[in-house]
Amino acid sequence: MTGALLEVDGLAIDYGTGRNIVEGVSFAIEAGRTLGIVGESGSGKSSVARAVLGLTPYAGSARFDGRELAAQSRTVWRATRARLQMVFQDPYSTLDPRMRVGAQIAEPLLVHGAADARAARLRVGELLERVGLDPAMATRYPHEFSGGQRQRIAIARAVALNPDLIVCDEPTSALDVSVQSQVLDLLQDLQSEFGIAYLFIAHNLGVVRRMSHDVAVMSQGRVVEAGAVDEVFDHPTDPYTRALLDAVLEPDPVERHRAPSIPEGLTSPLHTLSSEEGEER
């Protein structure tokens, strides 16, 4: 994993219960690449994201650009935060309903001293235009936008400081399918333009395959299979991965109503793959 932007090794999370919700998770993300993490609701995907973002204590190691996240001082973590941003599932809950969206996009620029007030206003206009919105919309409030527009605003805020890595935790699952595609196109365009790396967490296998260079499949808090996305999806070796894929692949017309066979001892993914709620936080 030498040279990786983000290196996670033996990550464990117990939320103070003494029982690990996440255990032994390891992966690496190189600059400009996307690692997708996929699994059922409750598999621990979002817990991993929270640990990487410094929102959840963890055991093991999580290093960003060679520095252990948990060991960083407040000053160092402040600098890291500018390079490590996030886009969450529900854009409305992550935007302050009492603030104009322009002020919210400008906030990280001002907090980190990356621009003065005048420069921040100009930068906000550029960012809104870059994500496909009219710069004049900066004076509006979040409730005046659609869900897809709000997610574009959240993305504009996330890229304002030119981060090296963005953690995307189910960033399109609350959106209509047609809007999902537009947001995914935007994320891919930004990656191509700015070389951003993504930790992309989702339960939708099609979205993960579209977005990711590499993938890690999680079940019950552990990574059960990982590798290049096409290799894992086309030639899965773990029974759980095969069960996930069988659950969403187009069934044979003769067996359209027959549920896929789940290997003994595995939890069925069928009742959770279509759900967008209940992810372990």
What pLDDT, on the 0 to 100 scale, is given for residue 40?
87
pLDDT at 261 (0 to 100)? 44
Query: Token digits for 4?
Result: 């990786």
What pTM, to 2 d.p., does this model score? 0.85
Convert the pLDDT of each residue in 93-134 to its tens digit: 889 999 999 999 999 999 999 999 999 999 999 999 999 999
Task: Calculate the alpha carbon distances from 108 to 162, 181, 238, 277 in Å.
Answer: 11, 27, 42, 29
Residue 118 φ then ψ, to 5°: -65, -45
Would you state the pLDDT for residue 259? 40
Q: Provide the pLDDT for residue 78.
A: 87
**Residue 156: in which H helix or E strand, if any?**
helix 147-159
* pLDDT tens sequence across 41-50: 889 999 999 9
Residue 104: CB partners within 8 Å, gap ≥ 6?
A: 95, 96, 153, 157
Query: β-pairing, 59-64 with 67-68?
Result: antiparallel
Query: Phi/psi at 77 (nearest 5 deg)?
Result: -65, -35
Per-residue pLDDT of the chain (281 residues; tens, 9 = 90+): 457 999 999 999 999 898 999 999 999 999 999 999 999 888 999 999 999 998 899 999 999 999 999 988 888 888 898 999 999 888 788 899 999 999 999 999 999 999 999 999 999 999 999 999 999 999 999 999 999 999 999 999 999 999 999 999 999 888 888 899 999 999 999 999 999 999 999 988 999 999 999 999 999 999 999 999 999 999 999 999 999 898 875 544 444 444 444 444 554 443 443 343 344 44
Confidence at residue 166, expressed as pLDDT on a 0 to 100 scale: 97
Dihedral sign for Cα atoms in the order 105, 107, 109, 115: positive
Do the beta carbons of residue 146 and residue 167 sit within 8 Å?
no
